[in-house]
Amino acid sequence: MTESKGDIVRNVPFLEKEGTMRTLIRNGTVVTSVNEYEADIYIEDGIIKEIGKNISRDAEEIIHAEGKLIFPGGVDEHVHYGSFGGRLFETTDAAAAGGTTTIVDFAPQEKGVPLIDAIKKQAAKAQGTACVDFAFHGIIMDPKESVFEEIAQLPEVGVSTLKLFMAYKGTDFYSDDESILKAMMKARECGVTMMVHAENADIINVLQKKYLAEGHTEPVYHYYSRPPVAEEEATKRAIALARTADCPLYVVHVSVKEAMEAIREAYTQGYPVFGETCTHYLTLTTEYLAKPDFEGAKYVCAPPLRPQKHVDALWEAVQKGWLQAVGSDHCALEGGFETKKRGLGDFTKIPNGCPGVQDRLAMLWTEGVCKGRITRQKFIELFATMPAKVVGLYPQKGEIAAGSDADLVIFDPDYEGVIRNEDSLHGIDYSPFEGFPVKGRPEQVYLRGKKIAENGRFIGPKGEGKWQKCRPYAMCYDYFSLN
C-alpha cells in the first residue's frame, strides 16, 4: 500500500483475507529505558520485526508519528481483579485506555483451594474477558504444610512470583514468620520470587483497638493505626527471613522512607532485596485520608497514604534506583464508594483498595517527568521495563526491540487535560486522582500489533487479552549469577 498524508491508512478487507497484519509506524521518537531516538517501527503479526530509519516495507497500516513519543506498553505488576473485592477483568479496558497493555494480577486463594487451582480459576475468569494481556502472582491465603509443596508447581503454570501477608492477623491472609520462612526456602529452590506485604500485624491490631476504644472512628485513623514504624519493622523482618532462606525478596507497595532505606541498605550490602512503590504513594498524602464527611474513605488502601516526607523520599528512591518499579495496586472495589461505607462508624471496616490502573502513566509522566523528578528513561523503566523483568516477562513485554511483542503507546506529549472519573473506565464512581491536571496522553495503544485504545477510549473488542506465562529465575535472581 502506498502511504498517504493522513494519519492512518487502513485496508481492512485485505487484512482479513491475508490473515497477517503489517503496520509501519513512521518517524516517532522511540523512548526506552536506556535511550531515545527517531525511527520507524515495522510490525508483523503482533511482533516488532524491525526498527530503523526509512524502513522500506509494505504495510496495511501506516502511522505517521512525527512529534509523538513511542513507549513500550505499560506493565502493571500490581493489580487486583477479584482479590480484596476488586471488580473483575471486564473493566481492564481502563488499563488499555491508560497505556498499560499487560497486567499481573494477584490470584486469590480461597481456603482449602490448592494454590495452582486458585491460579487456574482466576485465569479462567480473565480468559475471554480481559482487554489486555495478563499474568498472575500467587498469593498464599491458606498457609499450611501442603501449600509450601505447591510452590514448586508455580513455574509450571507460568507463575514466578508469590505474595505473603505479614499484616491481617486473624484473617486467612495472615502468614506468621514460620510460614514465610518455609515459603521462602521453597521458593528459592524453584526460582520463584517472594513478595511480601510488610506491615506488623500486632502493632496494627493493638492500635486499631485503642483508637476505636477512644471513640476515633474516622478514616484518618486508618493511618494512625498503621504507622510508618509498622511497615519499617515488618520490612526489616522480611529481609531477615529472606536472608535466612537465601531467597530474593521483592517488597511490594513500599510507602515509607524507612522501609525503602532498609531495602536499599540490604541491597547495598549485597543481598537480593528489591522493592516496588505505587502511584498513590508518590502523589497523594495522608491529608486525603483526613477529608471530611467520610470522603477520606475513598483513599483507604494498605499500607495507608503517608505524609509528604515519605512521598519526597520515594521519588528520590525511584529515580536513583533504590526501588525498582511503580505499580498501581489497582483495586476498583465492586460497589465503589458505597462499599467503602461499610466502615462508617468504624475505620477498621473500610475495605482497602483504590482504582489506579488507568492513571498510572498519566500520574507518573505528569508528576514525575514533567516536574523534573524522574527522567524519561526512568519513567519507561518504572512503568514497563522493570515490572516485566521482575515477573519474568522481559523482553517479550516492557521493551521496544526487534522480537518483542508490539505492545506500544503512541504518546502525544502536548495534550493537556484533567483526570475526571467520568472519563475513567474502571467501573466505579470515583477516582483518587480526580482533578489532577495531566500533560500528555496515549493517543493510540497497540496490543500485539492491534490498536485497542485511542485518546482515552477503548476501541478494541473486549476479551482479546492473552495469558502470559512468566519465567522463573527472573530479575531478582540475576544477583545469584554474579556470585
Binding residues for ligand DUC, rule: CB under 6 A, are 80, 84, 197, 252-253, 302, 329, 331, 352-353
What is the C-alpha to C-alpha distance for residues 35 and 79, in angstroms, rounded to an integer? Answer: 28
Q: What does the per-residue mask of binding to Zn ion show for 273-312, with x meaning CB under 5 A?
A: ----------------------------------------
CA angle 79/167/226 to nearest 5° reads 95
**Applying CB under 5 A, which part among 25-33, 56-64, 233-241, 327-335 lies near Zn ion?**
327-335
* Identity of the residue, 331 or 361, whose beta carbon is nearer to ligand DUC in the bound complex: 331
The entry of ligand DUC, Zn ion, none near residue 188 (CB within 5 to 8 angstroms by kind) is none
Least Cβ distance, residue 353 to ligand DUC (angstroms): 5
What is the C-alpha to C-alpha distance for residues 474 and 419, in angstroms, rounded to an integer? Answer: 35
What is the C-alpha to C-alpha distance for residues 469 and 253, in angstroms, rounded to an integer? Answer: 23
Kindly list the distances between the CA atom of residue 276 and the CA atoms of 105, 253, 326, in Å, as whole numbers in the listed order: 15, 6, 6
Least Cβ distance, residue 246 to ligand DUC (angstroms): 25
Answer yes or no whether residue 197 interacts with Zn ion by CB under 5 A.
Answer: yes
Q: Is the separation of the CB atoms in 305 and 280 below 8 Å?
A: yes
Least Cβ distance, residue 27 to Zn ion (angstroms): 39
**Applying CB under 5 A, which part among 207-215, 217-225, 321-329, 457-465 lies near Zn ion?**
321-329
The entry of ligand DUC, Zn ion, none near residue 352 (CB within 5 to 8 angstroms by kind) is ligand DUC
Cβ within 8 Å of residue 429, ≥6 positions away: 336, 337, 338, 421
Single out the residue of 139, 130, 249, 236 nearest to residue 185, CA to CA: 249
CA angle 145/172/296 to nearest 5° reads 150
Least Cβ distance, residue 202 to ligand DUC (angstroms): 16
The entry of ligand DUC, Zn ion, none near residue 40 (CB within 5 to 8 angstroms by kind) is none
Least Cβ distance, residue 162 to ligand DUC (angstroms): 13
Residue 454 cell numbers, joined: 485511542
* Identity of the residue, 452 or 470, whose beta carbon is nearer to ligand DUC in the bound complex: 470
Least Cβ distance, residue 346 to Zn ion (angstroms): 21
Number of residues that make up the chain: 483
The entry of Zn ion, ligand DUC, none near residue 353 (CB within 5 to 8 angstroms by kind) is ligand DUC
* Identity of the residue, 64 or 253, whose beta carbon is nearer to ligand DUC in the bound complex: 253
* Identity of the residue, 25 or 104, whose beta carbon is nearer to ligand DUC in the bound complex: 104
Cα Rg for the chain, rounded, in angstroms? 22
Kindly list the distances between the CA atom of residue 106 and the CA atoms of 63, 136, 151, 257, 457, in Å, as whole numbers in the listed order: 36, 6, 15, 25, 26
Answer yes or no whether residue 329 interacts with Zn ion by CB under 5 A.
Answer: yes
* Identity of the residue, 23 or 352, whose beta carbon is nearer to ligand DUC in the bound complex: 352
| CA diameter of the chain | 74
106 membership: H or E segment, kind and range: strand 100-107
Least Cβ distance, residue 362 to ligand DUC (angstroms): 21
Q: Which DSSP string do the residues of 198-211 spell out, in sequence order?
A: ---HHHHHHHHHHH
Q: Which residues contact Zn ion by CB under 5 A?
A: 197, 329
